[in-house]
Chain A
Amino acid sequence: MIRVMLPEHLRRLARVEGEVPLEVGEAATLRAVLDALEAEFPALRGTIRDHATQRRRSFVRFFACGRDLSHEPPDAPLPAEVAAGTEPFLVVGAMAGG
């Protein structure tokens, strides 16, 4: 099980509180996690990555295990701690005020 922590705006949009537990039925990659997240919460489609290109929106970042994974290839394996559920996978809105 993978633990996903969404930013507050997206938690409200998805109507969840706290971390989202996700079963990712294949290798734990960025793409697999986002596919599973959007399948369970269709309201999140288009808010983290572009509908058509599937590219990460430029003001969204991915952090885990103290590392910035935003620029990792979508099919690269996530850290073992994320895959094992011992560390959360963070979807973060870029620090841009507002």
Chain B
Amino acid sequence: MAGVRVLVGTRKGAFVLTSDAGRARWEVSGPHFAGWEIYHVKGSPLNPDRLYASQSSGWFGQVIQRSDDGGRTWEPVGNEFAYDGVPGTHQWYDGTQHPWEFKRVWHLEPSLTEPETVYAGVEDAALFRSTDGGRSWRELPGLREAKGHLWQPGAGGMCLHTIVQDPGDAGRLFVAISAAGVFRTDDAGATWRPVNAGLRSPYELPDPSADVGHCVHSIAMHPSRPGVLFMQKHWDVMRSDDAGESWREVSGNLPSDFGFPIAVHAHEPETVYVVPIKSDSEHYPPEGKLRVYRSRRGGEEWEALTSGLPQQDCYVNVLRDAMAVDGLDECGVYFGTTGGQVYASPDGGDTWAPIVRDLPAVLSVEVQTLR
């Protein structure tokens, strides 16, 4: 029977929320890995029972957990993330150089084509790959050769937080880093180059149009159109129609173009979702109203989606990896907040209801469509 499994990472553990296709009644399991920060949980597109979780703590460091039964049981796998060679330095907040130091895994992206391959995006920013189901990890060091000495941390650290695979070209990957920008490889990770033309950061960079240094918060792609990318930057919602070669702003009528996550509808490649946040210093929704904004035209024209969401006195944030869609016939949209709510819309964003209200602060939300 069709259904969905929502994988939620929080500041104090992971939760697995499951429902049938109606998406009205939910079972909540967790906390898994109670007390640990779970930056991300994601399932393999090739095997829905294969899940990976990034578990970390300021005391005990990084652990990677793997499940082969859809999250019922877990096994710690490899947690050694050693940079290739001498990692060198990157730019610090004050413009001086600072040594590269591993802190945590922000994002785990199982391969679209190889069942035992999974990518890990880490802080300080680098990309690692495992080809043995997470037991061992090797850096793809060509990424840091793309002007890594000019990358700098954002407020959340210098993190590689987004990994997007081109479903039509196994050699092409995009990653996004705060604050460095978007990078693309066309040779399966051996060599990389920045693809940030068109981004402008006049308040963050001495050269507003520099080719690296932009604080990209998230990027998203519809699998049917891998050349089209959508981006929520620190400020500005952007779009590329040429696989990142050039970007143009599509913020249009949004009440604020600051925000963190961005997602694309499962069946409509021009339908895009963002959650506007007031500013970089006030990380909550404008006017205390939690609104998802939807564009059905690939940007520029946005409509507020409010039904079922709090429209007064709401001051939560929605973090960059905390929004996702399912693939059921009527696309479901999901997001989690720093206030511990996970909201679901079974109708593409028209109406919303909380699945749970009182989790620890939500760091990430991913959805598996089960058939």
Contact residues of A with B, CB < 8 Å?
A: 7-10, 12-13, 43, 45-48, 51-52, 57, 59-60, 93-94, 96, 98
Within 8 Å by CB of A96, from B34, B59, B61, B80, lies: B59
A93 CA / B35 CA spacing, docked (Å): 13
* C-alpha spacing A10/B34, complex, angstroms: 12
B82 and A52: CB pair below 8 A?
yes
Q: Assess the B58–A59 pair: CB atoms within 8 A.
A: yes
Q: Residue on A with the closest CB to B75?
A: A43
A60 touches B80 (CB 8 A): no
Min CB distance B303 to A, Å, is: 41
| A98 touching B58, Cβ below 8 Å | yes
In the complex with contacts A9-B35, A51-B82, A52-B82, A46-B61 CB distance below 8 A? yes
| Contact status B63-A47, CB under 8 Å | yes
B97: Cβ under 8 A from any A Cβ: no
B residues apposed to A, CB below 8 Å = 34-36, 57-63, 76, 79-80, 82
For A59, list chain B residues within 8 Å (CB): 58-60
B73 to chain A, nearest CB (A): 11
Q: Say whether, besides A45-B79, A45-B80, A46-B80, A60 and B59 are in contact (CB < 8 Å).
A: yes
Pairs A–B under 8 Å by Cβ, sample size 18: A9-B35, A9-B36, A9-B60, A12-B34, A13-B63, A45-B80, A46-B80, A47-B60, A47-B79, A51-B79, A51-B82, A59-B59, A60-B60, A93-B60, A96-B58, A98-B35, A98-B57, A98-B59
Residues of B within 8 A of A47 (CB): 60-61, 63, 79
Contacts of A51 in B (CB 8 A): 79-80, 82
| Known A45-B79, A96-B58; 20 more pairs at CB < 8 Å | A9-B60, A10-B60, A13-B60, A13-B63, A13-B76, A46-B62, A46-B80, A47-B61, A47-B63, A47-B79, A51-B80, A52-B82, A57-B59, A57-B60, A59-B60, A60-B59, A60-B60, A98-B35, A98-B58, A98-B59
A48 & B63 in contact (Cβ 8 Å cutoff): no
C-alpha gap A59/B36 in the complex (Å): 14
Please indicate the chain B residues that have their CB under 8 angstroms from the CB of A10 in the complex.
60
Q: What chain B residues lie within 8 Å of A96 (beta carbons)?
A: 58-59
With A and B bound together, what is the CA distance between A8 and B34 in angstroms? 11
How many Å lie between the Cα of A43 and that of B65 in the bound state? Answer: 10
* Closest-CB distance, B102 to chain A (whole angstroms): 9
A98–B36 CA distance with the chains assembled, in angstroms: 10
Q: Would A93 and B82 count as touching, CB distance under 8 A? A: no
With A9-B59, A13-B63, A59-B59 as contacts: A46 and B82 at CB distance below 8 Å: no
The minimal Cβ–Cβ distance linking B101 to chain A, given in whole angstroms, is 11
How many angstroms from the CA of A52 to the CA of B63 in the assembled complex? Answer: 15
In the assembly, what is the distance between CA of A18 and CA of B76, in Å? 20
Chain B residues, CB < 8 A from A45: 79-80
Nearest CB of B to A65, in Å: 23
Of all chain B residues, which has the CB nearest A92? Answer: B59
Within the complex, the shortest CB–CB distance from A15 to chain B, in Å, comes to: 10
Choice from A9, A43, A48, A52 contacting B57 with Cβ under 8 Å: A9
CA distance A52 to B58 in the complex (A): 18
CA separation between A48 and B80, bound complex, in Å? 13
> A60 CA to B61 CA in the complex, in Å?
10
Measured between beta carbons, the chain B residues less than 8 angstroms from A94 are: 59
Residues of chain B contacted by A93 (CB below 8 angstroms): 59-60
Given contacts A9-B36, A13-B76, A51-B82, A43 and B59 within 8 Å (CB-CB): no
Q: Is the CB of B61 within 8 A of A57?
A: yes
Residues in B with CB closer than 8 Å to A13 are 60, 63, 76
Q: What's the least CB distance linking A58 to chain B, in Å? A: 9
Task: Kindly name the residue among B35, B61, B63 whose own CB sees the greatest number of chain A CB atoms within 10 A.
Answer: B61
CB distance from A34 to the nearest CB of B (A): 14
Cβ-closest 7 pairs across A and B: A43-B76, A47-B60, A59-B59, A93-B59, A51-B80, A46-B79, A47-B61
